[in-house]
Amino acid sequence: MVKHTIQKTPLVFYRSSNGNEPVRDWIKALNTPDRLAIGQDLMRAQWRWPVGMPLCRALGQGLWKIRTELPSKRIARVFLCLDEGMLVALHGLIKKTKKTPDDELTLERKRQKELR
């Protein structure tokens, strides 16, 4: 009988050149129920990577977004990339419009390039 071992994909937070972790700080600033909901979805992505819809959606060029419906009746997005076998949380935001603003996508792509 063949045993299948499930491995957790490590998740780290993007760290700027001055040592700040903006995604971790953003999550910590949320209320506890919202923070737990985002953490649970990040954990699901780690244990089931690669994961598809409805939890995670590819945006192209190695960028993915995780969609979390928050208990506060809002929607959060955490943008990730895969770098050296680890998921890197690049940016997080609360959705206010249907389409993610271009300046937010530009920031995520910039952070992704900094990893290389």
Please give the structure tokens belonging to residue 7. Answer: 């491995």
Q: What predicted TM-score, i.e. pTM, was given to this entire model?
A: 0.88
Query: What are the structural domain ranges in the chain?
Result: 11-114
pLDDT for res 58: 94
Report the interhelical angle of 32-48 vs 22-29 (nearest 10°): 130
Spell out a b/e string for 95-104, using b for 16 or more CB atoms within 10 Å of the CB, else e: eeeeebeeee
Q: Would the pLDDT of 3 be above 70?
A: no
**For 11-114, CATH number?**
3.30.2310
Range with lowest mean pLDDT among 3-12, 55-64, 101-110: 3-12
- Tell which wins on pLDDT, 39 or 102: 39
